Structure 1
Amino acid sequence: MDKKSPPPRPLPVRTAPARDRRYRTPVLALSLLALSLAGCRGPEVRTPSVELEAGLSLATHRGDDDLLTAGLGEAGLRSPTPPAFANPDQPTAAELRRRAVWANWRGIADLSPGGGYGSVYGSLAPVPGREYHALVRLPGRRQPHRVMVQVPDGFDPQARCVVVTASSGSRGIYGAIALAGAWGLPRGCAVAYTDKGAGTGYVDTTDGRGFALDGQLATGDETEEFRVPKAASTDVAAAPIAVKHAHSGDNPEADWGRHVAQAAEVSLQVLALAHPEAGPWTFDNTRVIAVGVSNGGGAVLRAGELPGGRFDAVVAVSPNILPGDGGRALYDYASDAAIWMPCALNASAFDGVLLARPGGAAAPAGVARCASLHAAGILADDAPAAQAEAARRHLLAGGWTDEAIAAGVISSNFDLWRAVDVTYASAYARTGPDDMPCGFSFGAVDADGQPRAPTAAERAAWWSDGSGIPPGQGIALRDPQAAGTDPTLAGNLCLRKHWDDADGPVRAGIEATRAQVPAPGLPVIVVHGADDGLVPEAFSGGAYARWTRAQGRPVSYWRVRNAQHFDAFLGLPVLGMRYLPMLPYGYRALDAAWAHVADGTPLPGDADIATTPRTFTDGALAPLQPGNLGTLP
């Protein structure tokens, strides 16, 4: 069967009374159904079959609930106040889903007034439909990854379009809803998500309790998303909290592409259940495009390497990707930046960067870091200004640009570098929650920084509110080396040593994440902000594009001027007046990919997109206008 072209514009969707119908399909039901359907055709039909670990949970979302906004609508998603739990100690599954959708929209998109979402780009219109959740395990892995498939009521079996995505960062299953869901669902496409082996299924090792498939706190025996043994210690306050990305024992980043591939396979099995009359559902007769942002962007690029012809196109936005040659690994530049960037941001080159040198004054934390590096013999200069300039030159020598350093102030000021490094070092080394590198651990602390047990309300909200990388939601990053006026330096220096140890387990884990070239003939668009300060394009997206071109597999590379990594922070005037959002370019890349796949429209080539930042006058930030975004390819 030939692949069907998706409709050129969003499909109308039907509305129906909301139903609260939930059931669990037996573990092998999807696989057996898909196999039986495949058996009705000849051997040329490539019908996928994935064994589900925790069965399948289905819920319909219509009326005052929907797939895209969880019933919150535009007003609810724009509200800075999260939807409340009637009982914070025991929220319902529906409340947790609603809160998770709110948290992940606001963690990725700029929904602030004047930010342009819903007026210049994007839509927050509700989309009714059905939502399926399952847990799937890659062969030989210790822990499963969560897969979700959303099938809108406007899905047309004759158009047969699927968008497959992976969560950004280490987020839970809704971590790509603002990119893949917001683009695909209104167009009548099914959207398949994976948390790529990370997510917010934390476990309190005091009692081994984690989360069930519906996001509710479960007993140890009923925990499904992520399991670890209870702590041996009887000290309830000191018992660490296990985080799936850090403590799965699987180094999930090495499998990101396979996680996305499995999500694609599950999506077709779900469609065989949802629309059996239109079967068989195969990669030969269904158009499938993969898209992701940040870590999700890296994941879909890795999926595009795999044989099997699952994907018709790949779009990666701000991807964290380590090319086969060139570039720098995230752990390398993050552990380096954690040490040097606080000092470097005090250099005079960053006068006017308000979060770095407000009014041109040096930030006290940066002064302390410069002094600490000097005292440790790492910086030779005596004067604070010279120390800051030396730190800046160190970063520039490593490939950073001044623009990326300036945007990196967000990660530096929020201590994000250290949180990332701790999580990734543990994942690469495959440690447990009680033997993390450099003695770090995750756990609740009191006002004096002393370990304590998490509250019932904190635990109940981890699944919906967490980002996948503590600190946050009552979980602290516990650092036994923290002391003095520069408390994070010792731990950061220790983490950096794991990169310097070329034969150590962290370096071995990183090497396992190195990318291969895309499959022959696969259309790929990579979009990256020129000023990205978390995943610099010179180390990642740009380096990947240069490398694939050298290998004879060129990708379309769009470099966006005046754009960094975090759209969600652009509601802050100090950032909104300097940077443009990345989501509009991701949506445009998806438009171009679908036009190429469905209609044969030539794929746009490389682009260096000039933009115009918004102005700040009379104490107000001007609303985003189409002209600010420049000429889209």
Structure 2
Amino acid sequence: MACPEFLVSDVRATEHRGLDDLLSAGLGLAGLAGAPSPFADAARPSPAELRRRAIQTSWKGIADLGPLGGYGTVYGGVPDVPGREYQAFARVPGASQPHRVLLQVPDHLDPTHRCLVVAPSSGSRGVYGAISLAGAWGLPKGCAVAYTDKGTGAGYFDYADDSGVQLDGTRARRGETMLEFEPEPAATDAGVAVKQMNSRDNPEADWGRDVIQAAQFGLAMLDRAFPMLAPFTAQNTKIIAAGLSNGGGAVLQAAGLDDGQLFAGVVALEPNVHAAGQGRPLYDYATEAAIWLPCALATSRFAAVPFGRAPDGSIPPARIQRCASLHADGRLPGATLAAQADAAYERLRAQGWTDLAMATAASTTSFDLWRVIVAGYASSYARTGAADMPCGFHYVTIDRNNQPAPADAATRAAWWADGSGIPPGNGIALRGGMDHSDDPTLAGLDGLRNLWTGDGGGARDVRASIAASAVQLPRADLPLWVLHGAGDGLLPTAFGSEPYVAWLRSDGRAPLYWRVPHAQHFDAFLAVPGFGAAHVPLMPYGYVALERMWAHLFEQVSWPRDLPTPQATPRGEGMLRREMLDLP
């Protein structure tokens, strides 16, 4: 069968059976939750070893596989699913860099219920980034699953040896073969370039197109896999787009671009979504949070929440210093820490932050994720390379003592499998954007905030890139379900899902919307003691939504105009029980 014209590489086809299946690469649930899958030669892992570890990392980075979380007993499962994979590089018009597309085809594909699930990666992860949602549900069901990394992923380019990642996950140097990400040449001391942040493409604006290309690739590869059943088309194959976090935003972008009824249904979990004039884009509220939340969390109302205080019960010094810094430059009133913290809290409340979102965002603040996210996204939106990121930020390789040093071969080789797509981590550090004051990160954060609020050319460029990522209305008859944790502190519902759903309803659409009590953004964080006790996972609700979508598409179950949100209860210190989820 002919390959789609948007492919820019040959298709790599591999078989996965026995001890190397599609869903867990032969690791099973215990192996996925265990120690990192080993490489026989750390400096030269094989493509099969890299794939196995990439699948494991994607599972562990998204799903709660902890001993108390209930995965595999209360909900979900990791059965053995033999089959084939087809993978290639694709490119959307106007982009300089490709995105990965990958189709997993189970041997037991159901020819009487032709189903293709299309799944963009969550966060900034690589091509397997949605396997715990779409793969875990779709592959055992007999569906094929098409993935895209949507222009993100850990195909890091290291200028020290001018190397990047080729299609099979192994590293190669510029000019030797086609690479996942090949930025413009620079000096050997230019550090590390990250595709999402340094491609100069603003890939977020193309996430919907990436998803559509992944669906089209999936259909073409199904023709190749089952020529006796060809052609596979949107008319004879039900295509469900499913994603979470940035992947959730990507499927909603794709839904707004689908004017040819490609998708039969869409399920979006905790989506990073905004429409023009609706809600607030991530960069807006994340730069705000990076500056003001550390001080607001110093109020006594957050003393008992997870990560609200240091392990010894004290207020972390960096939060005290942030209050002092904002007070010293006239941005916060109050002569005492308590008064300053209350003023920061009230400021965020006035901007739409809820107590629940701030409380959960104590974890994001403690892990310094706000600064990491906005530094990288600023570069993506400003369309800068590795050497000219805004506010002096840059990515460098480091040694075990956190000092700049060239990466060794083993560190480089593992990046594609282990990286989250947004450093720091895996021997790469975020540097720059700091001064020598008592609050060294504030100056850089103010600079990043000014790229949203300012009047300069850089700010106009950033705002234009963000505007280009806004979603459009989906077609009126598209079954669409948005699910979001009520306690999401990274992508608060008040800024994304709720205004998006309200916008759809005001224009005659009828999306289903669940704002799940006690769920938050990172299921993987639920294995952290104390944090998991206060929450429930969101993933089981995504599986329920996909199951309901299946019933509608294949069993003629009517699509409801409304469906009551389950009233979940926190897990507590013991093991998760099914009744805590209140699943229908």
Q: Could you say which TM-score interval applies, normalised by the shorter chain? A: over 0.9
Instruction: Note the alpha carbon deviations across 1:418-445, whole angstroms, 9 max, x for none.
Output: 1111111111111111111111101113
**Which residue of 122, 136, 139 maps to 1:168?**
122
Task: Say whether 1:114 aligns with 2:73.
Answer: no
Residues 209, 223 of structure 1: 8 Å contact kept? no
Residue in 1 aligned with 2:406?
453
Amino acid at match of 1:290: A
Residue aligning to 1:471: 424
CA offsets per residue over residues 546-574 of structure 1, 9 Å max, x none? 11111222311111011100000101121
Alignment partners' CA distance in 2, 1:277 and 1:436: 51
The DSSP-based 3-state class of the residue aligned with 1:30 is coil
Match of 2:161 in 1: 207
User: How far does residue 267 in structure 1 lie from its aligned partner after superposition?
Assistant: 0.3
* Structure 2 counterparts to residues 235-384 of structure 1, below 5 A: 236=188, 238-306=189-257, 307-357=259-309, 361-384=314-337
What do residues 201-259 of structure 1 show as CA deviations (whole Å, max 9, x unaligned)?
1101233210010000112112421111331x3xx4x3221100011111111111110
Which of 15, 38, 46 does residue 84 from structure 1 map onto?
38
Structure 1: distance between partners of 2:405 and 2:453: 34
- Secondary structure in 1 aligned to 2:476? coil
Counterpart residue number, 1:533 = 489
Q: Is residue 390 from structure 1 mapped to residue 348 from structure 2 by the alignment?
A: no
* Cα deviation code 1:302-358 (max 9, x no counterpart): 111121111000000000001233211000000000001111111111121131125
C-alpha RMSD of the superposition:
1.4
Q: Give the match for residue 72 of structure 1.
A: 27
Cα deviation per residue 1:459-509 (whole Å; 9 max; x = unaligned)? 111100000101011110011524333221111111000011256211111
Q: Is the 8 Å Cα contact of residues 528 and 542 (structure 1) preserved in structure 2?
A: no
The residue that corresponds to 2:355 in the other structure is 402
Contact 1:312 1:523 (8 Å CA) reproduced? yes
Give per-residue Cα distances to partners, 1:71-111, cap 9 Å, x unaligned.
111210121x2111121111111111111111110000000
- Over 3 Å counting, the alpha-carbon distance change for 1:371 and 1:491 in structure 2 is same
Once the two structures are superposed, what CA deviation does each residue of 1:522-548 show, in whole Å capped at 9, x if it has no partner? Answer: 010000011100000111111110111
SS at match of 1:260: helix
- Report the counterpart of residue 485 of structure 1 in structure 2: 438
Aligned to 2:570: 613
Structure 1 gap segments, 5+ residues each: 1-28, 32-48, 616-620
Corresponding position of 1:230: 185
Structure 2 residue 550 is matched with structure 1 residue 594: yes
With over 3 angstroms needed to count, the CA separation of the structure-2 counterparts of 1:167 and 1:370, relative to structure 1, is same
Matches of 2:170 and 2:398, distance apart in 1? 23
SS at structure 2 position matched to 1:588: helix
Paired residue secondary structure (1:149): strand
Contact 1:458 1:474 in 2 (8 A): yes
Secondary structure of the residue aligned to 2:223 is: helix
Q: Give the match's secondary structure for 1:428.
A: helix
Closer, same or farther in 2 for the Cα pair 1:50/1:157, shift >3 Å?
Answer: farther
CA distance in 1, matches of 2:349, 2:556: 43
Judge conservation of contact 2:276–2:467 (CA < 8 Å) in 1. Answer: no
User: What is the deviation of 1:446?
Assistant: 4.4
% same residue: 52
C-alpha contact 1:501 1:507 (8 A) present in aligned 2? no
Residues of 1 paired with 2:321 and 2:225: CA distance?
A: 60
| TM-score with structure 2 setting the length | 0.96
Answer yes or no: is the 8 Å Cα contact 2:63–2:539 preserved in 1.
Answer: yes
Contact 2:399–2:427 (CA<8 Å) still a contact in 1? no
Q: Which one of the candidate residues 181, 187, 196 is aligned to 2:150?
A: 196
8 Å CA contact 1:470, 1:477 repeated in 2? yes
Distance 1:82 1:314, change over 3 A: same
Structure 1 residue aligned with 2:171: 217
Contact kept, 8 Å, 1:208 with 1:227, in 2: the verdict is no
Q: Is the 8 A contact 1:146 1:195 kept in 2?
A: yes
| Aligned counterparts of 2:424 and 2:502: Cα–Cα separation in 1 | 35
Determine whether 1:505 maps to 2:425: no
Aligned residue type for 2:576:
L
Give the residue type in structure 2 aligned to 1:267: G
SS at match of 1:146: strand
Instruction: In structure 2, give the amino acid aligned to 1:30.
Output: A
Aligned counterparts of 1:138 and 1:447: Cα–Cα separation in 2: 39
Code of the aligned partner of 1:276: P
Q: Is the 8 A contact 1:201 1:463 kept in 2?
A: yes
Q: Is the 8 A contact 2:146 2:214 kept in 1?
A: yes
Count of matched residue pairs: 577
Asked whether the equivalents of residues 156 and 193 of structure 2 are also in contact (C-alpha less than 8 Å), the reply is yes
Q: CA deviation at 1:515?
A: 1.2
* 2:538 is equivalent to residue 582 of structure 1: yes
Out of 66, 83, 92, the position equivalent to 1:138 is 92
C-alpha displacement at 1:51, in angstroms?
3.3
Q: State the SS of the aligned residue for 1:519.
A: coil
- State whether residues 306 and 360 of structure 2, in contact with CA within 8 Å, keep that contact through their aligned partners in structure 1: no
Any idea what SS the aligned residue of 2:146 has?
strand
- The residue type equivalent to 2:425 in the other structure is G
TM-score (norm 1): 0.89
Cross-structure match for 2:392: 439
2:14 aligns to what?
Answer: 59
Unaligned runs of 5+ in 2: none
User: Residues 534 and 465 of structure 1: is their aligned pair in 2 closer, same or farther, counting only changes over 3 Å?
Assistant: same
